[in-house]
Structure formats: C-alpha cells, structure tokens
Structure 1
C-alpha cells in the first residue's frame, strides 16, 4: 500500500522548478503546458490537466498532458463528472474565488490529499489570478485606447467638417493641426506637407514679423484677437475674418494658438445691401421733402425764359442773338433739372403693388422688342440663354423698366469698345437656392473698376461721361427689385465686361 509522500530533496527541487517556471517571462499558455507536463512526468501519472477560467468568466478550458487533440471547454466546473479512484482534484482558488482546477490521474491509486499537489495548487492559483488581472488590465487598456482613439477621430472629423479654415501652432510657431478646409482653400496646401513646419514658411502673404507679433500678443495676453483682411482670388476680392484663439494644454500658460479663417464675403455683400437700402430710404425721404419746392422755382424760371424769348423780336441784333442763345441754355438746363427731379419723384414714390404671376422669358423678350430699334442697340448682338418655365410674381411694367435700364447701360458700356458688343441674357434657378430665379445681363463692355462697384447703386453716382446720365437709373432699379423681395448684384472686370444679376423669389404653385 502506498504511503503519503514525504518532503524530500527531490520534491524541493521539483517545487523550485515549478516556482522558476511560474516566474519566467514565457507566454502563459507555454508556461502552463510545461508545468502540467512536469507534474504528469514527476508524479508518474497517466494524465494531468489544468482547468482555468477565461478572464471574462464565460467558460473554463483546459491544458492537459498528454495534450488533447482538440481544445476542451465547459461552461462551469460542475459539468466535470465525479472523480473516480486514482484521480486527485484540487481547486485553484485565490481571494475566495475559484479560478480553476488541478486534476491528476495517477497510474496507481494514491491518496488524493497529496501534500506536493497542494503545494503546486497553492503556487498555481496566484499565477492564474495574476493572468486574469493582466487580461482585465489589458482589456481595460484596450477599451480606453479605443475610446481615446474614437474621441481623437471624432475630434479630427469635427475639425475637418468645419466650414472654416483652421490651423494650430505651438510655442515654437510650428503647425500642429491643418484642417481640410485649409487644404482646399486659396493656397491649397496639403496637411502632410505643412504639419511640423514653421508657420512663417507656409503663410507668406503676410509679413513674417507682423504675423509673429499677432501670435505673440495672443501668447502673452491669453486673449482672442480678430481682424478682417481682403484677398484677391482669381481677380475677385474676397473678405476673410481671421480669429486667433488661445489654447492651454496644462496649466494657465497658453501653449497653442488656434487660427480660424472665415470667408465673410457673402456677409459683406449682405451688409452692403443693408447699408444701400438704408441710404436709399434716407435719400428717398429727403427727395420727397424737397422735390416739390424745387419744381416750383424751375417752372417759374422756365416760364420767364419763354417770356423773354417771346420779346426778343423787339431787341436789335446782335444783342438779340446773344440773348436768344442765353434763353436756349436756360431752357435746356431747366429741362435737365426737371429730369433729375422727375427721377427723384420716381425714386421716392411708393412702388406699385399690383403684382401677378409672370413668365420671365416673356418679359425679357418684350423688353428686347421695345429696344429693337433703339439707336443705342444698333451695334449690339443679343444672345438668349433661357431656362424654360421660370415664373415670378411681379409688377410686369416695373420689371420691364429694370430690364430696359440694365440693357441700355450694357449697350452704353459696349459702345465704348472698338468691337461689336455681345449682350447675353441668361435665366435659370439660383445656384444656391432653387426657390429663387436668376436673371443675368452679361456684356462685353469696358467693365467697371473695383473701387466703383460698391457705389454704383447710390443715387446720382454715374460712371458715364458728364451730361450723359443723372445717376438715378440703377438706384431706381435697386429699389424696384428690393420692393419685389429680390436682390440686384453686379460682377465686373475692367476690359472684360460686367454681369448684372437680378435675383427674385420664384413663383410658387397657386400664385
């Protein structure tokens, strides 16, 4: 009959080898495979097995000696049948929690409570606990890493989705972030080509000293700064609002500066139209107050000039001829002043409210028919580019007045050119909004200088030669279109021509 094993130097050596193995840096599965093989061989057992729990606690799996052809898994240890004679099973528990099971099938039945097996189990249980803890920590690190990466990706997508150009520099003035809008902006520099470079080597439109001073002010004061700048893009002026925002990573010191460039060209246009409307309203009120007072003296001057001219037969020559010339000048200037006053009357008079659904192409064709035999239209080649089916709710007579004024202005601009001019009349939906109709009058005339564009809708402002216009035509057009809840814009390049664009709300079904 076998007797319980007593502690002897070979057993101590075996326990030492197990301890060395558990403290080695080998892979855990390799360590456990080697350990269970050593146990099986040292105890001369038929087989040995370690059941260990997955870190997530969903199942148990085993490592055996001799090795199993397939991995064995069970939901819990209770599924293991009761141990027959000759099989010793020791729970692998740590901190009151069972982490697995050590099972040895001896070749010769022996006492299950083998002291050596108990020592091995006591050494193995903390090792399994450390494996689970490491797996839990690795899983937690992986989760946190994924969360950080997700947040970083979301933040990057947010920055790239912003409709403004954004970049970030550090204390060394090196670019750290450069969003997609900057890549597709006026300079079109790719992120990989600029990140890490000094900002002064990338942004060269502004003097480096001035740009550095702006960054230094934000670094030192910790306050946001804003400015507006005008840039010419493909011959057209564009306006940008530049904001520099301080950012601190750790502590109160500013470590980075975020620069945001926002295209405010459209806002400038809206602001200009608002200012124009306010200016026109003020002038209209002024004109309404004084035009009748001016008309009366003009009428008196005209009557007196006619009376003098009727008495000139009583004056001997050559004095009579000189006086007749003077009265003609007086009459001509009275008529010119009367025309100005009539224009002011038209400008200040409330616009007609009778509006109805009207086909845009029909209005344009009617206007062109009226201008067909006009002397200023003799040298003009007209091209029609219509989109069919466009309707607006408008006062037809007023729109014809606007279209006629814009076409005559185009004819005057092309008359100054040496070549025969082409007027293209184009209709369609607004590029940005399909609930608006776009009507364009594009000429090949001399163009309007950029400095004059903001002023051309002001009353009495004219680019024509002295005596060729009162400067009220475009102001009246502007007021009419505004009364129709529309907009009147212009684009022009000197030497290439101008495009006047009328935007009106499209007629809805049932209007």
Structure 2
C-alpha cells in the first residue's frame, strides 16, 4: 500500500479536506459569532425595553411615593423566568427596592462593577449608550449573566410639592437588573454542536466523494498508466492500457499508448540496427579489434578470432605477431597520444612465421565526457595486393621491355594535341630520328606539311590509315601503315599508335603490278598490232598513190592531196594515241588517289582491247549510268584492273566455246555502272565457262589460276584485289560454273573519300 503522503488520492483528500474543514469551521465560527451577536443584541434590546417597562411601570408609584406598589412591581417582575435580580438604587448607591428583600436598604460600593460605569468620573456620567450600560459576568453555576443599568432621570413631573428633588438634580437613581443567559448559552452550545456535526458530516461526505472520484477517475487510471509504462519500460511492443475515459486522463492514456508503440518501433529499429551493427562487426571481411591503453584486446570480430585465435586478455602485438612488446610504430599509441585517427602500412611475420602485410587504420573511442578510453584498430590484409604489386611491377618491366623492343615503331600520343608522350626504341631504327628528339615534337610533324590537317582528322576518326607518307631523317620519304587505338597512360586518355614501314612491300607490289601490266600488254599485243596496222595501211596507201602519180609525172589535184593529207594526219593521230595509251599504261608511277570518272576509265580500257573482242566475235553490252559521281581512284591502276577483268572474261568465253559451243547464244560481256548506298558500283559480267565452286575462295590468292599451264601467271586477280583495297573499295565475284562470271567493284565517291 502507498502511504497517504505518497498517494495522490491521500494528498488531494488531505488538501481538499483541510481546505473544506477550515472553510466550514470558519463559516461555522462566523455563523455562531453572528448568531451570538444577534442574540446578545436581541437580549440587550429586550433588556433595555424591560428597563424602560420597569421605569414606566414604577413611574406612577414613584410619583405617588408608593413604596408598597413599587415593591410589588419589582417583586412581580423579578419573579419572571430568567431574571436573577432586579434592584433600584438611589443616588448614593443604596438599594431602595429589590426582588430580594434581604438586600433592601443595603448600600453597595459606588465603585463596584454596576455603579462604576457612571461613577468612574466626577461628576458621574448622565447619558450612556446601551452598550456602555451593559455588563457580562459568570455566575456561580457557570452560566453567564447579563446585567443592564438604566438611569432614572429627574423628569419635570417629578419636581413639585410632593417630592423633594431639586430641579438641578438630573439622575435620581438607577434600575439594575441581571438576566441569566443559561438558556441563551445552551442554545449557542447546541448550535455549535450542530454546526460541528454538520461540518464533520460535510467533511466526511465530501472526502468520501473525493476518495471515490479519485479512486475511480484518477487513481485507478493512474495505476493502469503506471502498469502500462512499466510494460513499455520492459519493452512490451503493444501495451494494453485499459482506460476508457473521454477526458484528459483518457487522452494521456492514449498518448502513452501511442508513445509506447512509437518507443517500441524505435526500440525495434534500434535493436535491428544493433543486431545489424553487431552482425557487421562480426562478419566484416577485415580484422577489427578494440584495445585499451595497455594494448589489451577488449573486443574483436570473427575474422580476427578465426585467424589469430587470441587468448582471453591477450595483447594485440602478441596475437598479431607473437611479439612480447608493442610494435615500434604503433598507430594505436599515436591515436591515444593525439586523440585522432591514424593510418599506416605494416609488415611482419604472423603467428605461423609467414610474412604478411596490413593496411592499418585506427580511430579513438570516447566516453560520455569525451575522454578517449579505447581505440579501434581495423586491419586489412593486403598481402595478396602486395604480391600482385610485385607481379605487376615485374609485368610492367616485362611489357616495358616488349614495348621498347617491338620492331615496329610505337607512339603514345596526347589525346587532344597529338604530341608524342612516349615512344619505343624502334622509331630511331625506322625513322633515323632519336627518341629524345621525337619526345619533344608532335606526331603530325612526321607528315608532309600539306597533309597534316587531313591526317589530324583521320587519326581521330580511323583505326587504320594505309599508305601514309612519313618524312624520315634527311628528308627520306617512307610509306607506313598506321594503326590507332584509344588507351590510357598515366591515368589520362591517349592514342596508342603503331606504324609499319611498308615501303619495301609497296616496291615489291609495284614490281608485281608492273609485271602484271607487262603481261597484260603481252595479252593485248595482237589487238594493239591490228589497231596500229590499220592507220599504217591507210598511210601506206596514201603515200603509194602520191608516189605513183609523181613517178608517172602526173599532178595530184590539190583537193585530193588535201584529202589524203587529212586522212594521213588523222590516222597518225590515232596511232599516236594508241602508243601514248600503251606508254601510260605500262609506266610505273606511284599510286595517287584523285577524283576520276569510272565510265571514262572503263571506255579507255576497252579502246585498246576492243579490236581483240571484235576479232573473237565477242559483243560488249553497255549499261552505264548517266551523271555518275566521280570516285577516289588512281586512274591508271583502275584501268589495269578493268583490262585484267576483260582479259579474264575473254579467256573464259573462249574456253567455254572451245569446249562445247552453246548453240545460238552469242559471246557477250556486259559492262554496268550504277550508284548504290553512297558508292559507285562497276559490274563486269561474261557468259563464259565460270569458276568451279571448289576454287571460288582462292581466286584472289597470288599465283593461283584456273587457266592451263602457260596461259596465265595467277597475278592478275591478286593485283586487282590489292589495287581496289588500296583505293578503299571492295571487289566481289559471283559465278556459276558453265554459265558465266560477274565481278562487282565498289568504290567510294570522291566527296566521301575526301571527307
């Protein structure tokens, strides 16, 4: 049980009851006092009236000086209930009349209580207020007595022949009567008792009501709230607080219930975070320890326990490295000294004697006062990383050696400026320029000045740049194939550029191409001879005609002579064109790509070859597109490709007709050009013997041929393939054995090739 002083109900009852008791008591006191005053005033008024009545009743007898009548009146009045004594005093204090005959004619002390009211001064007072003429005193029976003195004044009617009182005498005597207040005091006591009983009754009733109210409305809900708060303190997630009130206590209960749920949710979250932290601490894949100032292990995670199996109270240096004293450069010691985190790398043998490497990070742990009481040390075993670093160093050294000794020049270029950041030793052997000199220059300096802007774009846009011209030492010109790939160097974007010196290869190719041209010229010899024989025959006939006329002495008419001269001049020009064409076709120039019209080159190739086709009754069908855009090509070499394909078409047709003439089908070569997907397409088809399927994939290989021995070298298609590739185009073949073959060449347009 809770003591009254510790109980809210008891405190409220004591407080409210005390206030109520004091209030009712004060009310009762003032009520009794007011009632007593009222009774006293009423008694005084009645006493004053009684004294007046006595004076009036005895006035006539006194006027007649009838003592018997006065005595009888005094006796009758004094015999009434409650009147203790009734006296009439004269001026000298002698009792002249009394309801007690024994005291008649006795003299009282003029200074006693009854007379002192008037005789306290000289001369005695004449007029006094009623309150001054009243006295209260206690009788022998314990009850109070009320005494009133009423002066008997010398009235005008009292002066005359029958009385001896002179007029100047104002007071003749006094009437003194004493009334018992036993009844009045009894009523007052009864009233006081009733008020006390009423006060006690009201106090008990109100206190009981307060108690019941407090128990029902306050104490019981509070105890329920206390029970609920204790459940919350124990971690109860949903405390059942049974308070069904729609007042502040009910609101408080609802708030506590909500608070309990919120606290339970927060506690659950804290528990989850704690469990998560403990789980993370235990399972984090690195070593974590907590150490005191003596480097003793206070706590450690699972990784540390599994790796080092420490003993209880073990020291960190002993558990880590089996040492008997702390490490010389201990980061934990630095953390305790500076109150800050520290990081370091440490190496040393582990408990098994194996050399290990750790990345150590320490952090201070403080208490509520901010004092460092422990240090957390996290160690990450970086032994594998260290081994990888050693292997990487070896690998870098190895690849640096490879980089330096690659036979082809390798350049590392800045991604933006194309300046040479690094290069290998091969650049000096190929270019004849020292590595130190190249390191302070731009890669574009290796190109001819007029080509640097174009190659600056191509280096960023193409992976391979073929047949580029570089300027080596002493103005020497070399042809290179450039391969470009993006990379990183020192954490920055760079271009990794490899160059291959193809100068000798191109010279060899030139020889093969020239040999192919000579072979082609040999194949064209009969047609060329016939082409030249026709103008020579015309010239011979014209000169013979003139010589014959001159020998016979005949004049040649000027008009005829002019016609013969014009005919001879035209055929000389034709022979000159054929010879110049053969000379241009057979010369050995460097390949220079420039805009060229594929239709014109195709017609030129057919000009020196058409006579052979006519002799063999081979029809040439043209399907050439008009307004064909120019292509980027070397016109001479592209003509060589067309001539090689025409020769192959001629031979294939001859081979088929020699084996078995197909009947009414005529010999035919179809030449077609068109624009397709941004490129110019040249298609050359024949209806010859075709190519067997088994050898289709090998026709572009050097020295491979399907012709009979002595009929071909196998270089024509191989050289043609290389020429087309060098021009950035492609060549494809489609053949059906016994029905014919079609070669399709695609070349980039001139504006695309320059882009």
TM-score, normalization: structure 2?
A: 0.25
Higher relative CO (Cα under 8 Å, sequence separation at least 6) belongs to 1
TM-score, normalization: structure 1?
A: 0.34
Pair member with larger Rg: 2
**Greater helix fraction, Structure 1 or Structure 2:** 2
